[in-house]
Amino acid sequence: KDDTPGCTSEACAFQDGLPDFKAVGATVIGVSRDQAESHQRFKAKYGLTFPLIVDTEATLCQAYGVWKEKTMYGKTRMGIERSTFLIDAQGILRRIWRKVKVDGHAEDVLHALRQL
């Protein structure tokens, strides 16, 4: 979700590492259910230069299996399970990170890319 603490930290970490991701031929793309206007404000506020995909109906989230029932503070709701998918240049899914913890995650993804 745009401009929430976890998503902001994760997006900024990927932005900070963007030159390294580009150096190994990777493209960083973010996806959330936020509207395009929200994405534009979020990108401008934090200087994000990679694409953010609008998935308001959770179609892409469902296709990737990240639209999950979540419980927080005793309340259950549907939400996105923070995940990363590493897809190679041939479109082959090479690695999945589920229930991502933000700290160090961008570096972990970069390390995995360098191993390909």
Catalytic residues: 7
Distances (CA, A) of 77 to 64, 69, 71, 72, 84: 18, 6, 6, 8, 21
Q: Which tokens sit at 73?
A: 């503070």
- Phi, psi at 22, each rounded to 5°: -65, -35
